[in-house]
Every structure is written in structure tokens, then in C-alpha cells.
């Protein structure tokens, strides 16, 4: 029996990286900043976008790419608020890949936009692995998920450029340890800004919206 | 679940390389993948995914070797370099939470091991 070894050394993210690079060029040519929102199912990603809309629309022109495994419900919620939104169905995949996002962006009037939000498929693991050509990944963590989640999903918190802690209106009803959560996030990346927001009461929403408008373009 | 999505990419890449081999080998014996510790791959889950996804492909029956590279980093405060054990991205020398990652994010198909047809080996000799 003759056995041969073939050295390959092929980056498994290579094809995805190419599309992400193309998207990055496309967006920077048009001066558009794209943010990739990542969090578990039900973390409050769509609610955060809904809550930010009144505040954001005064200061920037933005659109949303909704990633979902199935159904167009989230897209419909934003459409009702007059936000330009496009639905990406991942067709069963647990994350969005760069090619799909790139194709969806070509349908957007990028010239007339300042910001694009991508709501990734609800999942804290896989979307963190994939560059979709965004300017920054934003980790969305609801306080109902527990303060230990940053330690369990370090890749997401390592890749993210900001964390949004959602559903803070529920703090009185939960045993959520907010300082411990902040410490856990700092363990992974002490320079990460953390925003506490409630989409329900609107608390903290303007502060995050202001960060979105002012920071990614210049600092990140 | 993320082992399945990673495994899909591994298989696609391995099969593409395998099919491009000339002369065509008799069979694919093993596929070696190198993954950084940041990917948090559970080897048993990846092996299960590989067994399932490789069915009815030329990779059926082949073995997946996974080499996990430790996560290493460098401290921005004191310059220390060494292994990091996620999720604690802390300098082992000065305690600073200021670590830049050096290794641990990689994910690549390293090599294939194939078995050639006997006559091809004879011709080659
Ligand atoms: N109390 C409270 N509930 C919230 C808040 N934000 C979201 N919710 C609730 O949490 C649930 C999920 O919110 P969504 O915004 O749909 O979450 P999502 O992350 O977009 O979910 P998927 O897209 O399905 O992954 C809904 O029932 C919301 O009403 C909040 O600030 N406070
Ligand atoms: Mg949603
Ligand atoms: Zn140090």
C-alpha cells in the first residue's frame, strides 16, 4: 500500500474573507458604516433597532439587513417604522456569510445611506466566527441570559467592539449580578464599551445610538 | 452546532483538493485540520459531524485529525508573551487585562493523506 501526504495549507475562511473584503471596499467607497449585531435568539436585537429608530433617524440615514433562518417577521417590524429593510434568509444556517451579505448590499441604495445594521441570526457562537465585511461586531446580551455568558462565549466578546446589555428594566426581578457581568466582559477585553439599555423604557438607548453615530467611523 | 458548520467547510475544502489530485488516488485516508483554541471546537463533536457529513462522498471512511493550537498573546503593558487560557485574557506577569492575541484564531486545512493505486506506485518507481 502506498500512502502519500499532500500539504495543502488552505485557509478555511479564505472564500468568506474575499467576500468580506469586497464588501469592505464597497462600503468605504460609499462612506457607509456597517455594524453586525450578534446575540442569542430573543436577546432583543430587533427591539434595540426599533427603540433606536426615532433617535437615529434624526441624525443618520440607515437601513437594516435582517438575517433569519426562517420568516420575515423581524423585517416587517422594522418596515412598519419606515426603516429600509432587506431580509436575508440563511436557509437553515446558524450564521450569515459574507457572500450573502455582499449580494444583499448590492440591492441597497448605498449612496443614500450612512449606516447599515445587520441583525445576524440569533446565535452567540457561529456568527462571531464569520467576518461579513462589517466595521464592527456588536455583542447583544440580555440580562435574562446570566452574567456568566461572556465567559462561556469569549470569542464573541473578543471580536466585538461594543457590548449592549439589554432588558435592564427587568433588573429588579432577576438575580442578575451587573458588576460581575461587567467584570466578566473586562476579563476578555477591558477596553470594550458596555451600554446598558432597555428597549422597553428607552433608558440608555440614546447613549448607544450616539456611540453608533460618532464612534465607529472615527475610532474603530 | 458550530462544529457542523465548520465541518462543512472542512469537507468542501478537502474534497476540492482531493478531486484535483492527478493522478487520482485510490482513496482519501485522512484529513488534517489545524484550529486555534479560540474556535472552541469540541473534537468529539467535530468527529461526529465529519462522520455524518462525509457519508456518500469520497471522504467516507477517512479520518479527521484535528490539531488544536493553543491561544497565545502579548501584554500591551509589560511585553509578556505566553499562553492564554480563554476566557481569562490576562497577563500572567503583571496581571494587566491588555492582551493582544498572537495565535489561536487560525483555522486551516493542513494536509491530506491519500492511498494511491498500486500500479501508479509501480510506474512512479
Ligand atoms: N422587558 C423587556 N423585554 C424586551 C426588551 N427588549 C426585547 N424584549 C423582549 O424580548 C423578546 C425578544 O425580543 P426581540 O427583539 O425579538 O429579540 P431578537 O434578538 O431580535 O430575537 P431573534 O431575532 O428571534 O433572535 C420579545 O418578547 C421582546 O418584547 C427590553 O428591553 N425589556
Ligand atoms: Mg430579531
Ligand atoms: Zn503584562
The CATH number for B34's domain is: 3.30.2320.50
Write the residue with the smallest CA distance to atom 8 of ligand 1: A44
Let me know if residue B109 belongs to a domain. yes
pLDDT reading at B123 higher than 70: no
How many structural domains is chain B composed of?
1
Residues B7-34 have a mean pLDDT of 96
What pLDDT was estimated at residue B31? Answer: 98
pLDDT reading at B121 higher than 70: no
What pLDDT was estimated at residue A89? Answer: 80
Let me know if residue B88 belongs to a domain. no
Q: Residues enclosing ligand 1, CB less than 6 A?
A: A 39, 41-47, 74, 122, 166-167, 169-170, 198-200
- Inter-chain residue contact A155 with B17, CB threshold 8 Å: no
Residues with Cβ < 8 Å from A131, sequence gap 6 or more? A13, A16, A17, A20, A98
Task: Report the mean per-residue pLDDT for chain A.
Answer: 94
What pLDDT was estimated at residue B118? Answer: 83
Ligand lying nearest the CA atom of residue B79 = 3
pLDDT reading at B109 higher than 90: yes
pLDDT reading at A53 higher than 90: yes
Quick one: pLDDT band at residue B120, thresholds 50, 70, 90?
low
CATH number for the A12-214 domain, one of 3.40.50.300, 3.40.1790.10, 1.10.10.10, 3.50.50.60?
Answer: 3.40.50.300
For residue A31, the 8-state DSSP code is T
Let me know if residue B75 belongs to a domain. no
Residues A15-20 have a mean pLDDT of 93
Strands (E), A143-216: 160-166, 194-196
Residues B8-27 have a mean pLDDT of 95
- pTM of model > 0.95: no
- Inter-chain residue contact B1 with A151, CB threshold 8 Å: no
- Which residue range is the domain that position B59 belongs to? 3-70+104-115
Q: Give the least confident one: A43-47, A202-206, B97-101.
A: B97-101
Task: Say whether residue A154 is in contact with chain B using an 8 A CB cutoff.
Answer: yes
Residues B1-18 have a mean pLDDT of 91
Task: Report the mean per-residue pLDDT for chain B.
Answer: 92
Residues A145-174 have a mean pLDDT of 96
Pairing of strands B72-75, B27-36: unpaired
What pLDDT was estimated at residue B75? Answer: 97
pLDDT reading at B124 higher than 60: no
The minimum-distance atom of ligand 1 relative to the CA of A39 is 19
Let me know if residue B60 belongs to a domain. yes
B10 to chain A nearest CA, in Å?
7
Among A3, A5, A7, A8, the residue to mutate for chain B (most B Cβ within 10 A): A8
Handedness of CA B104, A129, A16, B16 (dihedral sign): positive
Residues A98-108 have a mean pLDDT of 92
Let me know if residue B27 belongs to a domain. yes
Amino acid at each position: 500500500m502506498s500512502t502519500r501526504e499532500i500539504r495543502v495549507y488552505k485557509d478555511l475562511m479564505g472564500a468568506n474573507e474575499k467576500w468580506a473584503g469586497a464588501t469592505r471596499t464597497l462600503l468605504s467607497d460609499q462612506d457607509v458604516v456597517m455594524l453586525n449585531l450578534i446575540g442569542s435568539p430573543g436577546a432583543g436585537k430587533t427591539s434595540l433597532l426599533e427603540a433606536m429608530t426615532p433617535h437615529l433617524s434624526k441624525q443618520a440615514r440607515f437601513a437594516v439587513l435582517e438575517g433569519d433562518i426562517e420568516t420575515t417577521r423581524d423585517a416587517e417590524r422594522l418596515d412598519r417604522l419606515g426603516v429600509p429593510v432587506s431580509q436575508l434568509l440563511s436557509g437553515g444556517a446558524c450564521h450569515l456569510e459574507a457572500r450573502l451579505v455582499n449580494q444583499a448590499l448590492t440591492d441597497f441604495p448605498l449612496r443614500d445611506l450612512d449606516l447599515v445594521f445587520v441583525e445576524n441570526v440569533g446565535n452567540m457562537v457561529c456568527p462571531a466566527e464569520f467576518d461579513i465585511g462589517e466595521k464592527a461586531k456588536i455583542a447583544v446580551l440580555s440580562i435574562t441570559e446570566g452574567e456568566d455568558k461572556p465567559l462561556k462565549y469569549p470569542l464573541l466578546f473578543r471580536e466585538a467592539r461594543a457590548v449592549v446589555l439589554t432588558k435592564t428594566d427587568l433588573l429588579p426581578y432577576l438575580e442578575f449580578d451587573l458588576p460581575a457581568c461587567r467584570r466578566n466582559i473586562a476579563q476578555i477585553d477591558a477596553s470594550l464599551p458596555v451600554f446598558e439599555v432597555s428597549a422597553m423604557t428607552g433608558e440608555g438607548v440614546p447613549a448607544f445610538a450616539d456611540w453608533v453615530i460618532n464612534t465607529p467611523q472615527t475610532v474603530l | 452546532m458550530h462544529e457542523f458548520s465548520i465541518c462543512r467547510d472542512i469537507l468542501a475544502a478537502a474534497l476540492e483538493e482531493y478531486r484535483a489530485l492527478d493522478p487520482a488516488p485510490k482513496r482519501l485516508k485522512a484529513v488534517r485540520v489545524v484550529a486555534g483554541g479560540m474556535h472552541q471546537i469540541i473534537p468529539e463533536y467535530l468527529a461526529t459531524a465529519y462522520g455524518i457529513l462525509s457519508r456518500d462522498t469520497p471522504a467516507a471512511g477517512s479520518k479527521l485529525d484535528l490539531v488544536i493550537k493553543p491561544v497565545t498573546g502579548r501584554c500591551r503593558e509589560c511585553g509578556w508573551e505566553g499562553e492564554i487560557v480563554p476566557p481569562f485574557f490576562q497577563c500572567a506577569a503583571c496581571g494587566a487585562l491588555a492582551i493582544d492575541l498572537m495565535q489561536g484564531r487560525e483555522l486551516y486545512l493542513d494536509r491530506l493523506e491519500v492511498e494511491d493505486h498500486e500500479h501508479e506506485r509501480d510506474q512512479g518507481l
